[in-house]
Amino acid sequence: MTTTPAGTSGLVLASTEVGAALWAAGYADRCGLGLTVAHTADRATAAHDVAARLRADSPHLDVSTQSTAEPMAHVLAAQSHTADLIVVDAERTTLARTVTARARCPLVAIPPITNQDHDLPVVVGTDGTHLAEAVVLAGLTLAAALGTGVRVVCCTLGTPVTGPWSTSGAQNTFAVTDSCAEQYPDVPVEVRIARSHPVTGLIRHARLASVLVIGSEPTGDHSTSHHLLNRSPTPVALIGPLVPAHRKPVPLGCCPAAEPG
């Protein structure tokens, strides 16, 4: 058994679900990152079983476990100060949104049956407001790690067709995307302005995405992020208000998987 203290960098997996574990392991392996399986005492056996399976599947992957007696949301929020990514299963929506409100790194929620096709683009949903830069940068980081491109989608249904927002929303989306994309010149990027409700529009795009990246504010159960967590067929990366807009680029050693020799 291997344990690791709080504050370890890399990926933190707070799930014993197979889909979430495999997604986290695949991402960590591509980036040369360590993977910590965080668990409470009552989930120790399941956590160690998951860690053993990941080590067997990926012998070069550094997998450790961390047991905690503290509330998991508190532990993950603390880990986010040094972690590159936190991964949970999407059915734990309360945990995902509680952690995201306090996290300083992205959180990815994996649905029970998820699309593992990393060749599909990363879809970034934004309305061009104050979280846009952090959200687009997170999408570019994920896409660079997965070796794919980014599709930025700005949904405008319900917004005025004239006036300040109609001008600034779409324009800000283009401006932020152009600025962020300069840091990732090798990642293909496209922007689409969709005349649809954010939930229905992003769900439609998520069906052909490797990851859906959205901003998440600590609001109620009727928020866009809440609905997308419950309905998205693909992993959802939540970017909270405390995630820095200028996070470091793709971690050193992070690159698309090499072609077999």
pLDDT tens for each residue of 166-219:
557 788 999 999 999 999 999 999 999 988 899 999 999 999 999 999 999 876
Q: What is the largest CA-CA distance in the chain?
A: 61
For residue 233, give the nearest of 219, 212, 216 by alpha carbon: 212
Question: 91 pLDDT exceeds 50?
Answer: yes
Question: 120 pLDDT exceeds 70?
Answer: yes
Residue 258 pLDDT class (50, 70, 90 cuts): very low
Q: Are 33 and 54 in contact (CB under 8 A)?
A: no
More confident residue, 112 or 80: 80
pLDDT score, position 64: 96
Residue 7 pLDDT class (50, 70, 90 cuts): very low
Count of all residues that appear for the chain in the document: 261
Question: 79 pLDDT exceeds 50?
Answer: yes
Q: Are 10 and 28 in contact (CB under 8 A)?
A: yes
CA count, 13 A, side-chain hemisphere, 87: 26
pLDDT score, position 5: 44
Helix axes 18-31, 132-146, angle to 10 degrees: 80
- Give me 169's structure tokens: 């929303």
Q: What percentage of the chain reaches a pLDDT higher than 70? A: 84
CATH match of 11-110 with 3.40.630.10:
no
- What distance in Å separates the CA atoms of residue 224 and residue 167, rounded to the nearest whole number? 22
Angle at 174 between CA 200 and CA 143, to 5 degrees: 70
pLDDT score, position 114: 64
Q: Are 239 and 138 in contact (CB under 8 A)?
A: yes
Residue type for position 60: H
Return the residue matching tokens 């949903």: 125
- Mean pLDDT (whole number) for 61-89: 96
pLDDT score, position 125: 96
Question: 3 pLDDT exceeds 90?
Answer: no
pLDDT score, position 116: 64
Q: Are 59 and 100 in contact (CB under 8 A)?
A: no
- Mean pLDDT (whole number) for 148-164: 75
Q: Are 140 and 150 in contact (CB under 8 A)?
A: yes
3-class DSSP state of 222: coil
pLDDT score, position 161: 47
The residue extents of the domains of the chain are 11-110, 122-239
pLDDT score, position 224: 86
Q: Are 117 and 255 in contact (CB under 8 A)?
A: no
For residue 136, give the nearest of 80, 187, 176 by alpha carbon: 176
- The shares of helix, strand and coil residues in the chain, as percent rounded to the nearest 5, are 40, 20, 45
pLDDT score, position 133: 95
CATH superfamily of 122-239: HUPs (3.40.50.620)
> Each residue of 214-253: pLDDT tens digit?
999 876 655 888 899 989 999 999 999 999 886 544 444 4
Pinpoint the alpha helices (H) of the chain: 18-31, 44-57, 72-79, 93-102, 132-146, 164-181, 198-206, 224-231
Q: What percentage of the chain reaches a pLDDT higher than 90? A: 70
Domains 11-110 and 122-239 share a fold: yes
